Structure 1
């Protein structure tokens, strides 16, 4: 495990970095490549956390194949370059607040991973950044939403279509993302060429 925590509980990881405090509690668990031991998982969701990641990984590999094909690449391209090597499970809980007019669930932000697969509830709240503004994504019962594919793919670059972002490691991106906090801007802008 090399000393890394695979199960994390927190409230507002960016409490001192973000411009506002997000009103939420979070559970995060790294499930691949090195999953936690069963006893490390919270008892109320232990059984599902032992089974669910297998299904999510299968879905992720399928999506990477479809994205690769849509980009005109070999269907295994994204998997072959390591995009399916890691998996994290994240859950947010938004407790009642005595002064709800002073809180927000989570500030508009871009996620720090390669791809996010989200199951929205009936309340919604998911937005995408499209044409320079945040736009609501209405919840569709039972639908999974994916987003956030990063990085220039060499096979898609040309003189007329140069890279817009420099090459970065996932750790470099995540470290910057966490240090910056949720401030309404994309951490990706920091890596623009």
Structure 2
């Protein structure tokens, strides 16, 4: 956790000038940036649009916070960041909508590449606490009790044209990840993909 990074002494940093010191600086940057983000979120919840200084938090800075959290496999922090994003505190940057900005981040693809099942399951089951309308989602149940507001799908195409399923299928020791992806609560698994893998015995 962050404590181990922040407790690096000057003597330790002197021995490893690049690695440990850089890690400590990144931890400090993370705390600083999260503080600004949560401060903005708190102001918005209290003042709404009445806040005269309601500049949206930079999407670039938010992406760094998300990547840092995912690299450290902090599921609770990732969930909190997603809800803050959908609460309208973060700007969409050069993207016309938050939906496109979120898609461009490729969070589920990143979790699969890390081979981190807890993150994969968190994202597959994530339903916004609020703000789903900002993504054009309807917060209701579809036929069969399946929730329509799941943001992350195992069949979603990434920037390279690959889905999380394709990435997991091409990685060694990814059986747990494939199990999570094929057991997604949104029930959007392309069954032809699964059948093809079964036919080939892979």
Question: What range is the shorter-chain TM-score in?
Answer: under 0.3
Structure whose residues are more often helix by fraction:
2
Relative to the length of structure 1, the TM-score reads 0.28
Larger Rg: 2
**Greater RCO (Cα-Cα under 8 Å, separation 6 or more):** 1
Structure whose residues are more often strand by fraction:
1
